[in-house]
Chain A
Amino acid sequence: RKEVEQDPGPFNVPEGATVAFNCTYSNSASQSFFWYRQDCRKEPKLLMSVYSSGNEDGRFTAQLNRASQYISLLIRDSKLSDSATYLCVVPFYGQNFVFGPGTRLSVLP
């Protein structure tokens, strides 16, 4: 089993839709998790941190299910500017993070 797996996508959704991505991880000892956003040909930027059961920031909600070893990212009321690749990041062996392959989202007008 790969260390971090994500919904392959791409997700093509209309503006205003609600969309959710899933990410599964293999290291049950991981304590903190992150969602990054990466625009085309740019560096990843931190979107949300998840330290306990979940986190909410405006239209974005991240949920953590430790028993099933997955985290999800929910985006409500999608905007055109939300179009990007979303990377799930899980720490392994202390301070090293493993990045998932990413899920690409296209929000259509």
Chain B
Amino acid sequence: DGGITQSPKYLFRKEGQNVTLSCEQNLNHDAMYWYRQDPGQGLRLIYYSQIVNDFQKGDIAEGYSVSREKKESFPLTVTSAQKNPTAFYLCASSPAENYGYTFGSGTRLTVV
């Protein structure tokens, strides 16, 4: 079955450490997205990519980086510059404009 896989499900980061969240899709979707959700709040866009080797900043890109070397993969790195990284991170993809998103099951990141 096609879908989006995010890993790990839970991740703990020490202060000052970079961590990378994985997102892989086998839906053959062109566009991929990363969102952050804080408790009781809506989703905020971090980065998005509409085509391989190209990506754009979303509303809260500071302290994050991404790459899109393959259509199937869109990893997100949370750098030490992100001062408040504890959140629920969601990866999504869509086939084209005006189509809804398919989400991965998310990664819960906690700073310890």
Contacts and interface: CB of A to CB of B under 8 A. Distances in A.
Interface residues of B, number: 23
A96 B37 CA distance: 16
B94 to A, nearest CB: 7
A73 interface: no
B84 interface: no
Interface range on chain A: under 10, 10 to 19, 20 to 34, or 35 or more? 20 to 34
A28 interface: no
A45 interface: yes
B98 A43 contact: no
A101 interface: yes
B43 A99 contact: yes
Given A42-B105, A101-B41, 17 more contacts: A32-B98, A41-B88, A42-B106, A44-B43, A44-B101, A46-B102, A87-B42, A87-B43, A89-B100, A91-B98, A95-B31, A95-B48, A95-B50, A95-B96, A95-B97, A100-B42, A102-B42
